[in-house]
Structure 1
């Protein structure tokens, strides 16, 4: 029980910038529980986003969307956005494998990374605006960060690391396939009340499978930056699908 609690705290400390001055042991048990708690942390972040959306329900949709996006980025401290930029710079370079890895490790951000960040945040903000304008139910905003973090955890567990060093490799040594399923428990529980979560979960699995194939092909494995980029990618992917479904299925005039 103590390892599970420490794992939850570790997940919060790693995935958010919330001040939690608690010293947690770093061992195989706490790492396993931390990865299982990834979706729980996502649900917590989603609840904060939904609460802000409720508090701003009378504000113009563009202002609310920007406020939500700002909170979203602020809570994570831009941790996963850094992975998006590093991956974009490596992919945009069109260099051999060894050079791509050097570019990913370079702390300086290049033009491809800046463009990736710009378009990612722009699309997220616009999709938030669109969903708010269509009065989409807020349960999707609660589960979206959870599914993103489950996708990142699944990629980490199911994909070989490219190098036998680094934080991702250290975590992976403690994890097994069963941890992917255990981390799903809170999402499956919510799916009893919101069946649409199952469709979103399937869509997440499809994207994670595609990311796994592409990253192994392009980089011969993954690192922590790729896990962070996958979290961002899953969130954007699900927002796009959610908007498409809501627009085509729910926003069409009666009789069409």
Structure 2
């Protein structure tokens, strides 16, 4: 039986999914991956999104741990870790958070809110949301015990990217153009399997009560933002997805800090 050479192999499909997810969520050089990847399918790559979040969280935790090992104060080590994280991701989600805060807080109609969210300039609502959320992330990392950094930051990073799937699976796009609309609707089976896998890993890695509360906190933050977006602009945008990632990550980190004390 002759193999079908026109069909990409499993390795090239995995490489393509990894390329799509890393290209979407990071600013890392990916030329090495492009050489072996099959044609990219962004919707098919959603199973890799939590893994990219976990990887970003791991790097953040390593930088914080190294800072503490070099006798830096916890606050300084946390700032260095968050700076590294922002360099890796290009501040993608933070940009969405700022734009969402400006649009949802500053517009009186759905059309005006969407117009504000498209504006690259940052307003007072966006600056306040961005500043307080980054400061809260730094404070959480500085407060976590050194032994818990890797576990907590990896899981919170994975949950942050998983929250995007929750929004996109059960929310219509607010616009008919743009990448967010192009991803809708998500593959039902693949989305469900990814959500189940992330929830299961969280419950297995963390103590049962803490894991359950972390999942509920991240989900609650995501659903509250989804409800606000539905009432304000009639659906989600790329900026809303960025805001969901930031808020769900912070919700998970706050719970982890409260259990660690």
TM-score under structure 2 normalisation?
A: 0.84
Distance 1:109 1:4 in 2: 37
Equivalent residue for 2:30?
Answer: 20
Equivalent residue for 2:172?
Answer: 160
Identify if the C-alpha distance between structure 1 residues 201 and 180 changes in structure 2 by more than 3 Å, giving closer, same or farther. farther
Equivalent residue for 1:250?
Answer: none
Gaps of 5+ in 2: 1-9
- Taking only aligned residues, the RMSD between alpha carbons, in angstroms, comes to 2.2
Distance 1:98 1:186 in 2: 35
- Alignment of 1:242 with 2:256, yes or no, is yes
Deviations 1:142-162 (A, max 9, x none): 111110000122212221111
Equivalent residue for 1:251?
Answer: none
Instruction: Give how far 1:105 is off.
Output: 1.0
**8 Å Cα contact 2:98/2:122 also seen in 1:** yes
Please give the secondary structure, in 1, of the residue aligned with 2:206: coil
Q: Quick one: higher RCO (CA 8 Å, sep 6+), 1 or 2?
A: 1
TM-score under structure 1 normalisation?
A: 0.86
Distance 1:178 1:167 in 2: 21
Equivalent residue for 1:118?
Answer: 131
Distance 2:124 2:19 in 1: 36
> What does 1:26-175 align with in structure 2 at a 5 Å threshold?
30-58=41-69, 59=71, 60-132=73-145, 136=148, 138-173=150-185, 175=186
Aligned length: 243
Given candidates 182, 189, 200, the residue that maps to 1:188 is 200
**8 Å Cα contact 2:222/2:247 also seen in 1:** no
Please give the secondary structure, in 2, of the residue aligned with 1:31: coil
Equivalent residue for 1:217?
Answer: 231
- Alignment of 1:8 with 2:18, yes or no, is yes
Gaps of 5+ in 1: 248-256
**8 Å Cα contact 1:53/1:68 also seen in 2:** yes
Equivalent residue for 2:7?
Answer: none
